[in-house]
């Protein structure tokens, strides 16, 4: 029997609830499919930071390296720890250290979910560059607190980084409906984004079976609202992909349905799976967090591990649950009730 070692990082707020829900679904899916999941939970979070002064211990990355995958709940508690500290202390180091350069976020309406748009027949897969670009962390501040203060934030785009995420997106488009939308702002950013466009055109010659269209970020934001059904695979830089995928979450009914995967495509290190939503301090401990995004993310994890039948079973159980009207309206159903429905279908 195959056993997979999974690192659990529930994090803060509702992250703990949705991770517990996802883990119960994963265990049942594994039992039915005939494989084993062995977990170890880590307390790394903003609460951990308040106790220790760090988001994770100095050997945290090496500790995680021995696992097959990482399941993350949500990290952040801005009233007590600045988001810049929690992000750069945990999520970004994991993504960069494990070369999880492909962030994958699916956007479609689940059965029974009412989205805000007139269009319902869309199925968009957003591919976000995940390790460099605008979130490289290069820059600094000088003369702080004076009238002459200067802040510099430098985006870093490497040929290796841009080419590999574009190639990954081309492969995803080839496996789906054969359409790729590449998103930049090359009319205003004449170095980094023109560079991205040039590499897109170069790779397009290798993928003659994929229809490629380049969009500016503002035009893409409008298209995702006005004509989402026209899109298949969308690829963008770290910042633009981050923004567009929150828009994607909105048109699919909200962050409670938004799943994601941080993938190391060559599998030289573990990949990480997490719901897009944050820790939601306003509803933490109320028991009404929607666990569907976390459970969908866990299905993406099983798919990545090669357990495609179990992953598909979880997705079908989610769809059956929402088709019954359970978990479709924020705050209407309790976390445990949505989870119980998905478990029952499994």
| Residue 246 annotated to the active site | yes
| Residue 96 annotated to the active site | no
Q: Which of 135, 207, 303, 333 is catalytic?
A: 135
- Phi/psi-derived region of residue 11, left when phi > 0, alpha when psi is between -120 and 50, beta in every other case: left
E strands, the chain, in order: 3-11, 36-41, 69-74, 102-108, 123-129, 133-142, 150-156, 179-184, 211-216, 233-236, 259-263, 271-275
| Residue 17 annotated to the active site | no
Answer positive or negative: Cα dihedral of 304, 305, 309, 314.
Answer: negative
HSE-CB of 286 using CA atoms within 13 angstroms: 13
Q: Are 92 and 298 in contact (CB under 8 A)?
A: no
In the DSSP assignment, the letter for residue 95 is H
Q: Which of 83, 218, 308, 332 is catalytic?
A: 218
Question: Computed over its alpha carbons, how large is the radius of gyration of the chain?
Answer: 20
| Residue 148 annotated to the active site | no
| Residue 83 annotated to the active site | no
Q: Given the DSSP bridges, would you call strands 233-236 and 179-184 parallel, antiparallel or unpaired?
A: parallel
Q: Are 128 and 276 in contact (CB under 8 A)?
A: no
Specify the residue for token string 């500290």.
85
Find, among 256, 232, 117, the residue nearest to 182 by Cα: 232
Q: Are 73 and 16 in contact (CB under 8 A)?
A: yes
SS3 content of the chain, % helix, strand, coil (to 5): 45, 25, 35
CA distance 181 to 283: 36
Q: Which of 96, 123, 246, 316 is catalytic?
A: 246
Q: Which of 4, 28, 185, 303 is catalytic?
A: 185
Q: Are 252 and 112 in contact (CB under 8 A)?
A: no
Helices 335-345, 14-33: inter-axial angle, 10-degree rounding:
10
- Partner residues linked to 260 by β-bridges: 274
Q: Are 122 and 157 in contact (CB under 8 A)?
A: no
Q: Which of 68, 242, 303, 333 is catalytic?
A: 242
Residues tagged active-site: 135, 185, 218, 242, 246
């Amino acid at each position: 029997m195959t056993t997979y070692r999974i690192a659990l990082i529930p994090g803060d707020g509702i992250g703990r609830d949705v991770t517990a829900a996802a883990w119960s679904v994963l265990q049942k899916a594994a039992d039915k499919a005939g494989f084993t999941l062995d977990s170890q939970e880590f307390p790394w979070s903003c609460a951990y930071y308040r106790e220790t002064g760090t988001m994770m211990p100095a050997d945290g990355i090496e500790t995680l390296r021995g696992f097959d995958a990482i399941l993350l709940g949500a990290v952040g508690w801005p009233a007590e720890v600045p988001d810049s500290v929690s992000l750069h202390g945990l999520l970004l180091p994991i993504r960069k250290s494990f070369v999880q350069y492909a962030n994958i976020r699916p956007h479609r309406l689940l059965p029974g979910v009412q989205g805000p748009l007139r269009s319902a027949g869309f199925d968009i897969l957003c591919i976000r560059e995940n390790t460099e670009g605008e979130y490289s962390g290069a820059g600094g501040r000088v003369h702080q607190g004076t009238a002459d203060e200067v802040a510099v934030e430098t985006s870093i785009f490497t040929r290796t980084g841009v080419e590999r995420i574009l190639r990954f997106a081309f492969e995803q488009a080839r496996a789906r409906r054969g359409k790729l939308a590449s998103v930049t702002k090359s009319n205003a950013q004449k170095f980094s984004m023109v560079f991205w466009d040039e590499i897109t055109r170069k790779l397009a010659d290798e993928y003659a079976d994929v229809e490629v269209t380049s969009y500016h970020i503002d035009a893409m934001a409008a298209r995702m609202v006005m004509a989402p059904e026209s899109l298949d695979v969308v690829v963008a830089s770290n910042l633009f992909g981050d923004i567009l995928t929150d828009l994607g979450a909105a048109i699919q009914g909200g962050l409670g349905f938004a799943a994601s995967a941080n993938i190391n495509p060559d599998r030289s290190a573990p990949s990480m799976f997490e719901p897009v939503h944050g820790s939601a301090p306003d509803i933490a401990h109320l028991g009404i967090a929607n666990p569907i995004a976390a459970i969908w993310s866990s299905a993406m994890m099983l798919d990545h591990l090669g357990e495609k039948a179990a992953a598909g079973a979880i997705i079908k159980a989610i769809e059956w649950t929402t088709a019954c009207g359970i978990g479709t309206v924020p705050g209407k159903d309790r976390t445990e009730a949505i989870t119980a429905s998905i478990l029952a279908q499994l």
